[in-house]
Amino acid sequence: MTERRREQRSGRDERDERGRSALPEEARAWDDLVVTARRTVTDGLVVGTSGNVSVRVGDTVLVTPSGVPYDRLTPDDITGVGLDGRQVLGTLVPTSELPMHLAVYRSTGARAVVHTHAVHATAVSTLVPELPPIHYMAAALGGPVRVAPYATYGTDELAQNMLRALADRTACLLQNHGTVAHGTGLSQAYDRTAQLEWMCRLWLTASSVPGMSPNLLSLAQVEEAEEKLRGYGQQR
């Protein structure tokens, strides 16, 4: 009887340490999150563990853990917090950029966030306060992409700077740091991240031609493209 009590107590302590068990939809979302996180490395948007990814399931935010290479993440590494930042799933420490992710979820209807240190986007963040409208796909992000002023990573100050840059936008640059994009799901958040990096590379490439300056779109042209993009693709 004594041994049985010890086993029961031991099991209960372990559950308390790890928080509650993941729901089936959370487990599926975690698998998708890991795939997306690994894709940021494969596609060259992240080096090592320098970026982070999150997805919201109900009032739980699943996030990549701090300092763990994405190719080592398993279903047992699921890491989740409430919107108040309190950890409810897993034992690994959440990403240091948790304040930034939570700020997006508290302020928008986003269901996923991707943060990277993509090289061309980061380079642009050091040069201008806003990505010049080099391509009409800026409209897909809500308009010209702003640069959030620099603040130390992982701080509330950075999160607030980011929110201001994201006003009426779905992506922004972080000065001397990287990118943030959000969407209705992981695929959309990732696609917006990749699109932003492509536009930054395009502008840097065009601007590097000696004696030439790239033609830029007017705000009216970007707005016209935004209206047209609302009907893009297969309508259901």
Active centre residues (catalytic): 97
Q: What are the DSSP E strand ranges found in 45-186?
A: 52-57, 60-63, 80-82, 87-89, 112-116, 147-148, 171-174, 178-183
List all residues 6 or more positions away from 57 whose beta carbon is below 8 Å from its beta carbon.
Answer: 23, 25, 26, 29
Place of tokens 């040069």: 127
Q: Spell out a b/e string for 50-75, using b for 16 or more CB atoms within 10 Å of the CB, else e.
A: bbbbbbbbeebbbbbbbebebeebee
Query: Distance between CA 213 and CA 201 in Å, rounded?
Result: 15
